[in-house]
Amino acid sequence: MRSSHILGLIGLAIFGVFILGPLYITIITAIKNINDVFTIPPKLIPYADFQPSSEAFDFIFNTRGKYTFVTSLIVASTATAIALIPSLLAAYGFSRYPKAAMNDERSFFTMLTLRMVPPFAVVLPIFLYWNQLGLFDTYPSLIWTYTVFSIPLAVWLLKGFVDDVSPSIEDAAKVDGYGFLDRLRRYIIPILGPALAATIALVWLFLWNEFLFALKLGGSRIVTYTAYLPQLRVGQRVQWNVLGAIGVLGAIPPLIILILFRKYLIRVYLGR
């Protein structure tokens, strides 16, 4: 082997340890009995160092833990669905009518800043805002907040994809006699197809993993699985194994999405 190959492999191994290490620890923690979690030295190999136990997963499924996943699902999916149509139309507008009022670069950038704002800076005012309206700890407040924050990201991604669809395709459709809605339905959306799906997937993913707003705008009734995590203290001890189990379960949807949309997500990250 050449020296460059060996060095490369060493680099990959170090990288792997940093990435895969925590993942591994999370997974084995999830299948540990609570007492096995706190041992020193830590027990690393299932069946050899410790007996796997379903204690953590049982806990989740026997308590309200399982409802938190449902809540996350509802909130993320609803917000994504509501954000979709306005984002698509806005992206179309920005792409096809760059000279129209409010469609220039400045407006586009202003829209993007909505997303760039550090969540910590705005979470308290937003909380107060919803609280005043009496909507604290309700679905509408969280879903609406999520929708508003998702739109800039979706528009930004979709505009790039709409740009790639040649305008003469729409001209051809116009000449064939199709009106705007028809064109959108029959030609633009199918041609955007995978790109659209990837955008939806990405937006959904951000919402699924969102923590801060879920924690602050939700209370006792609206608890997403991310907001559930801080509740897992029992006295002085943290139920690490349950945390691990939640982490494993919470990672399943992103994993599914990554597998399904792998090709298209890479394109999104590379900007084509």
Partner 1 sequence: MPTIKLINICKRSNGSLILKNINLEIPNKSLYVVLGPPRSGKSALGRIIAGLDTPDAGRILFDDKDVTDLGPVERNVSMVFQDFALYPHLTAFDNIASPLRKLKLPKEEIRKRVLEVAEYLKISQRLTHYPSELSGGEKQRVAIARALVKGAQIIILDEPFLRLDLKVREDMRAELHRLQKDVGVNVILLSSDPMDAMAFPENIAFMQGGELVQVGNLIELYENPKNISVARYVGMIEMNVIQAKIARKNDKRILDTGIGEITLPITPQLSGSEILVGIRPEHIHIGEEGGHPYAGNIFTFEGRVKISEVIGSETIIHLDVGLAEPIRILIPTIYKKNPGEVLRATFNIKDVYLFNANGQFICRGGSILG
Between CA 145 and CA 232 the distance in angstroms is 26
CB 108, min distance to partner 1, A:
19
Phi/psi of residue 133, each to 5°? -80, 0
* β-sheet bridge partners, residue 233: 238
The answer to whether residue 58 forms part of the interface with partner 1 (CB under 8 A) is no
* DSSP string for 82-126: HHHHHHHHHHHHHHH-TTSTT-SHHHHHHHHHHHHS-HHHHHHHH
Between CA 102 and CA 178 the distance in angstroms is 27
CB 82, min distance to partner 1, A:
27
The answer to whether residue 104 forms part of the interface with partner 1 (CB under 8 A) is no
Between CA 144 and CA 262 the distance in angstroms is 29
| Helices (runs of H) and strands (runs of E) counted in the chain | 14, 2
Between CA 143 and CA 165 the distance in angstroms is 31
Residues 62-101, mask of contacts with partner 1 (x by CB under 8 A): -------------------------------------x--
User: Using the rule CB under 8 A, which residue among 139, 178, 206, 211 binds partner 1?
Assistant: 178
The answer to whether residue 221 forms part of the interface with partner 1 (CB under 8 A) is no
**Quick one: tokens of 235?**
């006295």
- Using CA of residue 135, residue 156, residue 195, residue 177, what is the dihedral sign? positive
CB 5, min distance to partner 1, A:
38
The answer to whether residue 108 forms part of the interface with partner 1 (CB under 8 A) is no
User: Using the rule CB under 8 A, which residue among 19, 133, 171, 219 binds partner 1?
Assistant: 171
| Contact assessment for residue 236 and residue 18, using Cβ atoms and an 8 Å cutoff | no
The answer to whether residue 176 forms part of the interface with partner 1 (CB under 8 A) is yes
Number of residues that bind partner 1 (CB under 8 A): 17
User: Using the rule CB under 8 A, which residue among 169, 258, 260, 266 binds partner 1?
Assistant: 169
The answer to whether residue 272 forms part of the interface with partner 1 (CB under 8 A) is no
The answer to whether residue 231 forms part of the interface with partner 1 (CB under 8 A) is no
Between CA 27 and CA 46 the distance in angstroms is 10
The answer to whether residue 144 forms part of the interface with partner 1 (CB under 8 A) is no
Residues within window 190-219 making contact with partner 1, judged by CB under 8 A: 190-191, 193
User: Using the rule CB under 8 A, which residue among 3, 4, 132, 168 binds partner 1?
Assistant: 168
| Smaller CB separation from partner 1, 20 or 102 | 102
- State the CB neighbour count (10 A cutoff) for residue 182: 13
DSSP-derived secondary structure letter, 50:
B
The answer to whether residue 103 forms part of the interface with partner 1 (CB under 8 A) is no
Site residues for partner 1 per CB under 8 A: 99, 166, 168-169, 171-178, 182, 187, 190-191, 193
